[in-house]
């Protein structure tokens, strides 16, 4: 369960995101999408929201108003490449290409993440490794975003565990890491590491988004969003940033228990998707109210 307000990673009262609108994804997408929608990543692009799912290859597209029956709502079928294990989606606004992150697969004696590449019409083009060793198949890279600097394209991959580790070390706060990749001849070469502030007490990391120099990092376990800035000429954060909690229920309890993907909509607004709540007793029933959903939040009083 995510910690309750006042525990590490969750601000006690101020610093709350403000909900604008939300909807269950099953109410927006066609019946072919099914009822089990393990949303894992979201992208605001081309006037729509694109959603990827851990349990299937097809890509959801929904209108930004989150209205049932919107002509923009559709399921983009994918029958090539990997068929499951997708964690996030990124867009290269210069080339029009899309990248979908596959958390981790066996490679040699270890594990690495992959990206699948699509053209501007979501035609599958291929996949390539993100050349960074991972501890295992279930604690890999969870977030992906695309950045342009010096006329070059970079992919930023967010490690799920602190210090990019699994186990107890990965759960020890203060070690958030983003790996920076540039396209090489055969795969995406690891070029740098961005260290998130040691004061950031998130227990895990589930997604990231960059717009200009503004960086957003999401945590499912802490049910919170960190917002900071990247230095324009170095792969470093420029400040300690701020943490914003998700709105609790009337009793002050966490209800956004499964937040998995984030993308910037405007300088003070983000879109977030939530995964399916766990049904094995590890989560309270209240977590189901917001699961398998898409949400738009305003970040109040955010510094310009």
Q: Which pLDDT value is given to residue 9?
A: 46
The average pLDDT across 89-100 equals 97
Fold of 26-239: Neuraminidase (2.120.10)
Query: How is the chain split into domains, by residue range?
Result: 26-239
Output the six-digit token pair for 2: 């995510």
The residue ranking higher by pLDDT, 109 or 174, is: 174
Confidence of residue 14 (pLDDT cuts 50, 70, 90): very low
Instruction: Tell me the three state secondary structure of residue 32.
Output: helix
Q: Which pLDDT value is given to residue 81?
A: 92
* Strand partners of residue 110: 107
Proportion of the chain in helix, strand, coil states, percent, rounded to 5: 5, 45, 45
Cβ–Cβ contacts within 10 Å for residue 126, how many? 10
Q: Which pLDDT value is given to residue 304?
A: 63
pLDDT surpasses 70 at 19:
yes
pLDDT surpasses 90 at 60:
yes
pLDDT surpasses 60 at 76:
yes
The residue ranking higher by pLDDT, 150 or 49, is: 49
Of the candidates 141, 192, 139, 187, the residue with the CA atom closest to the CA atom of residue 166: 139
Confidence of residue 13 (pLDDT cuts 50, 70, 90): very low
Confidence of residue 127 (pLDDT cuts 50, 70, 90): very high
Confidence of residue 279 (pLDDT cuts 50, 70, 90): confident
pLDDT surpasses 90 at 248:
yes
Residue with tokens 């393990």: 38
- 254-276 confidence digits (pLDDT tens): 999 999 999 999 999 999 999 99
pLDDT surpasses 60 at 57:
yes
């Amino acid at each position: 369960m995510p910690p309750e307000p006042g525990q590490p990673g969750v601000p006690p009262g101020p610093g709350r995101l403000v909900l604008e609108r939300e909807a269950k994804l099953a109410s927006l997408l066609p019946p072919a999408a099914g009822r089990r929608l393990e949303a894992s990543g979201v992208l605001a692009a081309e006037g729509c929201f694109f959603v990827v799912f851990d349990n299937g290859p097809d890509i959801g597209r929904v209108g930004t108003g989150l209205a049932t029956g919107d002509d923009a709502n559709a399921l983009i079928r994918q029958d090539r490449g990997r068929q499951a294990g997708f964690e996030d989606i990124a867009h290269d606004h210069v080339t029009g290409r899309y990248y979908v992150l596959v958390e981790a697969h066996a490679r040699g004696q270890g594990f690495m993440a992959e990206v699948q590449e699509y053209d501007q019409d979501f035609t599958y083009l291929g996949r390539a490794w993100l050349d960074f060793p991972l501890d295992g198949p279930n604690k890999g890279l969870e977030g992906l975003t695309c950045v342009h600097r010096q006329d070059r394209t970079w992919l930023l991959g967010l490690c799920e565990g602190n210090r990019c580790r699994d186990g107890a070390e990965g759960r020890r706060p203060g070690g958030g890491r983003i790996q920076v990749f540039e396209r090489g001849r055969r795969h995406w070469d690891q070029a740098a590491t961005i260290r998130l502030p040691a004061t950031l007490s998130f227990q895990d990391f589930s997604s990231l988004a960059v717009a200009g120099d503004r960086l957003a990092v999401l945590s499912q376990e802490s049910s919170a969003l960190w917002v900071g800035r990247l230095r324009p000429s170095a792969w470093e954060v420029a400040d300690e940033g701020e943490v914003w909690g998700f709105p609790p229920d009337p009793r002050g309890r966490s209800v956004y228990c499964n937040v998995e993907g984030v993308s910037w909509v405007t300088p003070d607004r983000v879109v977030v998707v939530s995964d399916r709540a766990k049904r094995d007793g590890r989560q309270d029933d209240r977590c189901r109210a917001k699961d398998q959903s898409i949400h738009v939040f305003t970040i109040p009083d955010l510094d310009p």
